[in-house]
Structures are given as C-alpha cells and as structure tokens.
C-alpha cells in the first residue's frame, strides 16, 4: 500500500506567491526562462533555471549553475520571500483551466515505494536528465520539482478534500499569466492529517507517475548515493497526487523534417498498406476516436484510420503512438528511434493543431501527425503490466507551478 506523508514545506508568503510561482523547469528552454523571469527577482526560475543569471551560452550542467541555484534559493529564504512551515502538513492544490477543475493532494511519497514498484512507472528515463536533477537536489538540498502522480480514486479521500476546501480559506489564490488559476489550502489539523495518511496506507495499493519520471528517479538516486548518511528527508520526494477521475491527458503530436526521399504521392501510397486514407481538405482534422490519425501534408489534412490487422491487442501494441511509430515513422519514414532521431519533434496538444500547420508551412517540417490522446486507463494498464510507453506518449495539462511548495531533504 502507498506511503504518503505530510511535510514541512518551504513556501512563499501569500503576497509573494504569484511572483514566485514558475512553470516547471523542463517546459522552458534557457531563453524562454530568461524572458519569463525578466524584471522579477522573486521568480523561482532563478532557482530551477539558474543559468538565466549567468552569461548566455553557459553550459547548463557545470557546477557553477548548481551553485547559483543554491545561492538564489538561500537569497529568497534570507529575504523572507520563502519560509519553512513550522510543522508537517498536507496541502490541497486546485488547478482551474478554461472552466475545468482538478484537485490534488500535495505530500511526500516514499523512495522505498518507488524502488518496490508500489509507485508505478510508464516511461524510461535518460541518464543525462537524471544527473542534472541529481546535482540540483544534492547541491541545493531541495526537491524543487513536483512529481505529478495519479491514483485510482477513493471516495473517502475525495470527500475529505472537498470538505476541507469548503470549510477553510486558501493560502494562495491567483491566476498565472496563462490564465490558469492556482489555489492552495494547507491541511494542518493533526486528526485530518492522520486520516489522510491512513487512507492512503489502507485504500491505495499503488500510485502512478503521470509526469515527472526524471524527478522521481533522481530523488531515488540521491538517496542511494548518500549511503549511510541519508537524512530523513531524502527518503521521500515531493508529489502531488490526483484522483484518476479528475485527470485528462492531451494529445502529443509529431512533426517530421523530411519524407525520407519520397514525394507526397509516394508517402500516401505507402500509407494505404495499413490505413484507410481520406482527404479532409484545408480545415485541421482532430482525431475523434482511437486509431484515427490526422496528417498534414502540403497544405492539406488527411484522415488515417488504422486497419485492424495493423496493430496488436497487448497494452502497448494497441496504443496509437505505437501504431503510428510502427506503421508510419519506422516502416515508411525510416525513423527507428524517436528518442535520438533528429528528424522528428514532438508538439504537446496544448499548442493546438495550428502549431503543426505552422511548422510544416514554414518549411521547417515536411509532414505532421495528430493523435487521439492516451486514456488514463491505458496508462494504468501499461504501468500495471510493467511495460513502458513509447516516448512522448502523454501530455498532462494544466501543469503545477514550481516554487509554491518545495521539499527540503536536509533539516
């Protein structure tokens, strides 16, 4: 069963919360982070993307970058912008985007659960990305990135969270620049804290990483690397846990730079081997169900419907990202490894199909593919089976903000 505990969060004063809160470190490049934090010395990007305070072109993975992150974090604490909670607490984090609400519970999850697969995974991690976060955690002493988790919803937890929101005023409530509302309540009543901890221990057999595999893996490796000198805080990592019935996965689309020597007619001819191909015209085509795909090529949209004999029945084989990978990207376009091939790029559904059209129309890319989103049940099925999803299969939105709640591994 899942071990979830309260913690003493490092967090901003209410008046500084909006200025501190920043997008996750891995959704912005250095240039974007520099622009986002311009004129705002309280932005948490100075901690999570500290290269923005060093000369442009600085290697992102040198000691100087992590030392600057530590310096900036300590400065925010010294100035009183951030302070440490006096006693362990849980936090309720509500996100509201375009009228759609989802509410999670922020606590710390056990590294031991991660190692024992009580915390389920569905993605591989890349060593260089792990090492970056390992260095960041070890040098700053802080887990600044929140691991976005899911669990199969439990009515008692739903009720407890709902009642607490109704009966208490929030710590923070603001709309970020992108219009998404962020609201956080502190759960500091000892009896309620115990109820939450017990409910997870008795009612939640597994939790699932939805987004943040590198953050979780890095936390586990930091603990292992500390050997016998592990501080208590390093036995856990920062998580926000959402009930599955509140989560929505967006599409994660593909763009490809060239047609591997073919002309458009050749590509369409090859696609007929595994798909029913329908010309849809210039209006963007959004897939309406599993196994339907959109393709944007030479200013025209096509609907591709996978034939039943073109995919398997297993949890991985039935995924649309697998069908596209096997029958189009690999078989037709010669893209064998999406993790390393420079001819392919990925576009999160939050950017819309217009972003696909833009990148093809500009000449940067030759063809784009839109996909129907993976379901949360598919994610659970794959994680439960011990399988790994193809790269860039899921895009979760809205995203949690960094800086509002940070877990320190040292006292």
Q: Do 347 and 316 form a contact (C-beta atoms < 8 A)?
A: no
**CB-based contacts of 358: which residues, under 8 Å, 6+ apart?**
none
Q: How confident is the model at residue 371 (pLDDT cuts 50, 70, 90)?
A: very high
Q: How far apart are CA 131 and CA 222, in angstroms?
A: 10
What is the tens place of the pLDDT at every residue in 259-300? Answer: 999 999 999 999 999 999 999 999 999 999 999 999 999 999
Q: Say yes or no to pLDDT of 388 above 90.
A: no
Average pLDDT over residues 210-234: 92
pTM, entire model: 0.87
What is the tens place of the pLDDT at every residue in 340-357? Answer: 888 999 998 778 899 999
Average pLDDT over residues 109-115: 97
Task: Pinpoint the alpha helices (H) of 246-335.
Answer: 264-271, 320-324
| Size (the chain), residues | 411
Buried b (16+ CB within 10 A) or exposed e, 64-79: ebbebbbebbeebeee
What pLDDT does residue 352 have?
85
Helix (H, G, I), strand (E, B) or coil at 53: helix
Q: Strand pairing partners for 114?
A: none
Domains and CATH numbers, the chain: 4-248+397-408 (no CATH), 252-372 (3.30.1760)
**CB-based contacts of 198: which residues, under 8 Å, 6+ apart?**
none
Q: Say yes or no to pLDDT of 158 above 80.
A: yes
User: Residue 219 to residues 225, 238, 344: CA-CA distances in angstroms?
Assistant: 10, 9, 30
User: Residue 181 to residues 45, 107, 124, 133: CA-CA distances in angstroms?
Assistant: 19, 20, 31, 27
Comparing C-alpha atoms, which of 191, 246, 239 is closest to residue 2?
Answer: 239
**CB-based contacts of 260: which residues, under 8 Å, 6+ apart?**
332, 333, 334
Q: How confident is the model at residue 403 (pLDDT cuts 50, 70, 90)?
A: very high
What pLDDT does residue 221 have?
96
Across the chain, mean pLDDT equals 94
Q: Strand pairing partners for 64?
A: none
Comparing C-alpha atoms, which of 150, 165, 162, 189 is closest to residue 374?
Answer: 150
Q: Strand pairing partners for 346?
A: 254
């Amino acid at each position: 069963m899942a071990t979830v505990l309260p913690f003493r969060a490092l967090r901003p004063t209410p008046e500084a919360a909006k200025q501190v809160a920043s997008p996750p470190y891995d959704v912005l490049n250095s240039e974007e982070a520099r622009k986002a934090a311009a004129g705002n010395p309280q932005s948490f990007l100075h901690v999570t993307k500290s290269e923005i305070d060093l000369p442009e072109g600085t290697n992102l993975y040198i000691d100087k970058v992590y030392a600057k992150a530590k310096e900036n974090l300590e400065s925010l604490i010294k100035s009183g912008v951030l302070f440490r909670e006096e006693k362990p607490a849980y936090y309720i984090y509500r996100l509201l985007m375009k009228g759609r609400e989802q509410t999670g519970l922020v606590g710390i999850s056990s590294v031991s659960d991660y190692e024992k697969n009580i915390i389920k995974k569905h993605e591989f991690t890349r060593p260089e990305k792990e090492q970056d976060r390992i260095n960041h955690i070890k040098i700053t002493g802080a887990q600044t990135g929140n691991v976005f988790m899911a669990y199969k919803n439990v009515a008692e937890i739903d009720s407890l969270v709902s009642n607490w929101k109704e009966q208490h005023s929030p710590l923070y409530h603001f709309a970020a620049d992108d219009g998404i509302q962020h609201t956080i309540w502190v759960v500091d009543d000892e009896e309620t804290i115990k109820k939450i901890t017990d409910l997870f221990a008795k009612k939640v057999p597994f939790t699932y990483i939805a987004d943040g595999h590198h953050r979780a893996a890095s936390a586990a490796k930091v603990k292992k690397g500390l050997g016998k000198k592990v501080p208590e805080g390093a036995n856990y990592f920062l998580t926000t846990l959402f009930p599955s019935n509140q989560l929505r996965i967006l599409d994660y689309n593909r763009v490809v730079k060239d047609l591997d020597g073919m002309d458009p007619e050749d590509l369409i001819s090859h696609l007929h081997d595994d798909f029913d191909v329908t010309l849809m015209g210039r209006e963007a085509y959004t897939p309406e169900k599993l196994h339907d795909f959109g393709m944007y090529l030479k200013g025209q949209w096509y609907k591709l419907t996978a034939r039943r004999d073109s995919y398997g029945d297993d949890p991985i084989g039935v995924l649309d990202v697998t069908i596209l990978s096997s029958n189009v990207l690999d078989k037709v376009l010669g893209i064998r490894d999406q993790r390393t091939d420079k001819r392919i790029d990925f576009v999160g559904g939050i950017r819309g199909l217009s972003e696909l059209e833009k990148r093809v129309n500009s000449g940067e890319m030759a063809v784009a593919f839109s996909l129907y989103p993976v379901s949360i049940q598919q994610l659970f099925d794959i994680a439960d089976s011990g399988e790994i999803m193809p790269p860039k299969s899921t895009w979760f939105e809205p995203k949690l903000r960094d800086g509002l709640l940070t877990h320190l591994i040292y006292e």
